[in-house]
A and B are shown apart, each in its own frame.
Chain A
Amino acid sequence: MSWIGWAQIALVLALAVAAAIPLGRYMAAVAHGRLRFLAPVEALIYRTAGIDPVRGMGWRGYTLAMLAANAAGFALLYALLRLQGALPLNPQGFDGLSPYLAFNTAISFVTNTNWQAYSGEAAMSYLSQMAGLTVQNFLSAATGIALAFAVCRAFAAGGVSQLGNFWADLVRICLYLLLPISLVLGLAFVALGMPQTLSPYVEATTLEGATQTIPLGPAAFQVAIKHLGTNGGGFFGVNALHPFEGPGALAAALQIIAQQIIPFGLALTFGHLVGDRRQGRALLAVMLGYVVVATGLIYGAEAGGNPLHLAFGIDPAQGNMEGKDLRFGLPLVALFTATTTGASCGAVNAMFDSFTPLGGLIPLFLIQLGEVLPGGVGSGLYGMLVFALLAVFVAGLMVGRTPEYLGKKVQAREVKLAMLAVLVLPATILGLASLSLVLPAAVASIPAQGPHGLTEMLYAYTSAAGNNGSAFGGLAADTPWLDTTLGLAMLLGRFAYVVPVMGIAGALALKPKLAASTGTFPTHGPLFAGLLAGVILILGGLQFMPALALGPLAEHFVLAAGRTF
């Protein structure tokens, strides 16, 4: 680790927070429907779809509309992927995807996971990338943010039954938030070297006379929304490691900032919407604290290098370089890794599979903590609010008083639903991963020997259920068993989680908003932030400790003992 490394990390984080402050206010305006500069487009969509944007929806109606939109998105994307061979804008003549792979990919992009069991430049037509995957990058991100708006509204007012109009939220988030930023970011990415073209792949003749096929495509725009919407699905196979998708250190810094601004900003939006900005800052402080600690741990582990290789004289100056490209440098790789796994993005600019065991443990654990640090766009905020409810509940148990959060009494129904939501992740991850570690058909997908193989399988289900989408890439993931069960894990991680959360929102919205008294536990100070951080670590992380001990921790000690597989 070096001071210039930490300076890079500090600068990028400072810029992300600085951008999140005005964006938090702007997103509150989007939630209130105050923006009008694309009003004709908005009105056209409402008219064609028969939507009355001012009609409020209860939690059930809002959730059903969300599920219907996602089902329609899934159907369209599945059809497009199956049929791409017969559709235009396919200069490389790729065939349609197999039913298993199309199912897995469609679920993956609809749930904002973007797990990829295919390699973009070898499987996807330009039409599938643009009209299929790019669109779902927008829609799944807007879905998450819309749900977060609905949950915020439940805290903002007392005694209401309506949480907003899902269709209006979805359309406004796409038009006023995601689209303008994506256009600006996309142009910056092109300027830094990302291709944006419909031309076919180019055949180059190298200086030594070999032929090299250089893949191209409309990449920059999709990559912009991929980071901004914390989607993470790469245009090219190796994601942001590909020199066209991650052309340099400045591009990597912009990608980190793009992943962070909406989740960070939404914490502040929450403060604006509930009328107490300190509440948002407390949530942001917890998110930021975890990002800094996780980045430091990854940076330290990777800068230390691989002890097996250092033992016979490899220069230790660069650290562990297997699976990493040179241009980003370890500090930005560490910050990118902590961000992409903490923020439920899943883009990668280094291969976690080849990280040192402890360097690889951190991204895995960040996802298992519930994707709230800072979490995916929208999903990070509502996940954080679930933990906040549990934190005030724990505090209430300590003093024997009915807990309150923002003037809303937190009672049995809310706590039960919150625990139900929090348990979805460990039940899905540990259940399906253990099953896959004993089924011969699944075990055949694991290439690595020793504890690393267990980590690869555990990571796959963690990434799917956490809607992250990054991979410990060694796993041969495109098999019927893994395509199907990972698809199931993604569905459970997204929808089995959010339905109880919306149930909480519905129940809380109905409750009156009580004025704070001297006995109220303040939820904006360092004491609450510390309690919240602890609740996330214990309630979110503890269940995974045995699995982590068998995987990355075991591998760490095996490595220290000099054993190889």
Chain B
Amino acid sequence: MIAILRPALAVVGLLTLLLGLAVPLGFTGLAGTLFPAAAGGSLIERDGKVVGSALIGQGFASARYFHPRPSATTAPDPENPGSTTASPYNAAASAASQAAPTSQALLEAVKERQAALGGGAVPADAVTASGSGLDPHISPENAARQVARVAAARGLPAARVAALVAVQTEGREFGLLGEPRVNVLRLNLALDALR
């Protein structure tokens, strides 16, 4: 028994020191030196204050801003300990709706969101909750449907807002991978910068 326990404990212990402490700590130093912004969470600052991360979506409700996708994240309910309440874009607790395709609640939510967007053939990403609850992007079609609202709220010509959306639209990576998309936080920061 001892004959087998000694190598087991020693190998697991030594590999823990190497692969669990020495290497990750050294790697953290290296990553922070080579890619300081990315290693630190791709944070975006405005006037010296952190306003978010380029990779993490955030909630927007005002008509003056482009709105992100629905988010199913929750937070502890202050009035009812032990249960949670809706808290979209709560980055401290990434989560999806986990709604089944046959879910009545999902069906009603999709109908309600469609109506809020003026009905008709709205893009699917505008009426469905993202998987992370923190999706930073919307589709270009989704952004296009919001241009008139944002332009009116800001008293800007629609063409100017549409041109901004076009600038902020990212294509497929290498022209091949993924989907065309618009980063909502970056777009809204660019809108604010128009003043």
Which A residues form the contact surface with B (CB < 8 A)? 4, 7-8, 11, 41, 44-45, 48-51, 64-65, 68-69, 71-73, 76, 119, 121-122, 130-132, 134-135, 138-139, 167, 170-171, 174, 179, 183, 186-187, 190-199, 201-208, 210, 212-216, 218, 220-222, 236-238, 241-244, 247-250, 252-253, 305-306, 308-309, 312-329, 332, 349-351, 353-357, 447-448, 450-452, 472-474, 555, 558-559, 563-565
Which residues of B sit under 8 angstroms from A317, Cβ to Cβ? 123-124, 141
Q: Is the CB of B27 within 8 A of A250?
A: no
Q: Is the CB of A250 within 8 A of B173?
A: yes
Q: Is the CB of B177 within 8 A of A253?
A: yes
Q: Is the CB of B28 within 8 A of A218?
A: yes
Flag whether B96 is at the interface (Cβ < 8 A). yes
A-B pairs with beta carbons under 8 Å apart, 18 shown:
A68-B5, A69-B7, A73-B12, A132-B20, A199-B40, A208-B62, A214-B41, A241-B96, A252-B178, A315-B141, A326-B138, A354-B101, A354-B106, A355-B101, A357-B102, A474-B100, A563-B102, A565-B100
Q: Is the CB of A191 within 8 A of B100?
A: no
Q: Is the CB of B130 within 8 A of A314?
A: no
- Bound-state CA distance A242–B174 (Å) is 22
Q: Is the CB of A213 within 8 A of B91?
A: yes
**Shortest CB–CB separation between residue B37 and chain A, in angstroms?**
9
Which B residues form the contact surface with A (CB < 8 A)? 4-16, 18-21, 23-25, 27-28, 30-32, 34-35, 38-43, 49-62, 65, 69, 89-104, 106-107, 110-111, 114, 119-125, 127-139, 141, 172-174, 176-179, 181, 185, 188-189, 192
Contact of A212 among B10, B23, B89, B98 (CB under 8 A): B89
Once A and B bind, how many residue pairs between them come within 8 Å at the CB atom?
Answer: 373
Residue of A nearest to B133 (CB): A238
Contact of B6 among A45, A49, A192 (CB under 8 A): A49
- Bound-state CA distance A71–B11 (Å) is 12
Which residues of A sit under 8 angstroms from B189, Cβ to Cβ? 207
Q: Is the CB of B89 within 8 A of A195?
A: no
**Shortest CB–CB separation between residue B171 and chain A, in angstroms?**
11
Q: Is the CB of A332 within 8 A of B102?
A: no
Which residues of B sit under 8 angstroms from A325, Cβ to Cβ? 130-132, 135, 137
**Shortest CB–CB separation between residue A48 and chain B, in angstroms?**
5
Q: Is the CB of B59 within 8 A of A319?
A: no
Which residues of B sit under 8 angstroms from A73, Cβ to Cβ? 12
Residue of A nearest to B45 (CB): A204
- Bound-state CA distance A170–B194 (Å) is 59
Q: Is the CB of A318 within 8 A of B123?
A: yes
Which residues of B sit under 8 angstroms from A447, Cβ to Cβ? 98
